[in-house]
Structure formats: structure tokens, C-alpha cells
Amino acid sequence: MQQKIDAQQVRKVAKLARLDLTEAEIEEFTGQLGAILQYVEKMNELETAEVEPLAHCLPIHNVFRADQVRESLGTEKTLANAPERDGAFFKVPKILEDSSS
């Protein structure tokens, strides 16, 4: 079977995913992704016209618990294991730059 993905496509996907891959990793992933696509192509050869679509392989229906109103944990219990906090709030690292100036 002909390989359906090349190194250039792997580089493009890596760039979109913001992954900095080495040439060795690009070569490795090109082969791996090609093998995955070959497997999918092989699966497309199966006759599935009479197969009913499934959401899950087991006969499970609505496994959610019933909603019950109960008391919340409270601020102190909620923040007890927080790495950093600012009063009654979780403190997280800044991820966006302020470009309004």
C-alpha cells in the first residue's frame, strides 16, 4: 500500500499543535501515522451496511446519578490543597499578554 502522509504534512500538523519535533521524530511519526492511515483504509473495506451504529459497546443506559441538593464544600475545604491562593480564589499563572496599550 502507498504511504498517504509525508514528512511535510507531519511538520504542518506539528506546527499547528505547537510541537517542536526533531527530524528523527518527524521521520518516526511519518511512519506511524502512515501505518494508522493504512489500518483505517483496511477497515474501510469491511461491509458495514447492515451494522447498527452504537454509542457504546455495552448495553448501558443513563448511568448518571440523580441530582441531589446538598451543602457545598465551602471555601476553606475547596482551597485547602491549592498550590497558590489569593484570598478566597485560586491563583493561577498569567497566560495572556495585555495588548490593550
Query: Can you tell me the distance from the alpha carbon of 83 to that of 91, in angstroms, rounded to the nearest whole number?
Result: 8
Asked if residue 73 belongs to a domain, the reply is no
What confidence score (pLDDT) does residue 15 get? 95
| Residue 66 domain flag | no
Residue 77 domain flag: no
Residue numbers of the domain that contains 19: 7-43
Residue 17 lies in a domain: yes
What's the CATH number where 12 sits? 1.10.20
Residue 49 lies in a domain: no
Contact 85, 75 (CB under 8 A): no
Specify if 20 maps to a domain.
yes
Q: CA 47, 53, 59, 60 torsion: positive or negative?
A: positive
User: Where does the pLDDT of residue 3 fall: very low under 50, low under 70, confident under 90, or very high at 90 and above?
Assistant: low
pLDDT digits (tens, 9 = 90+) for 52-89: 888 888 887 777 888 899 999 999 999 999 999 999 99
pLDDT digit string (tens) for 35-46?
Answer: 999 999 998 899
The answer to whether position 93 is within a domain reads no
The domain total for the chain is 1
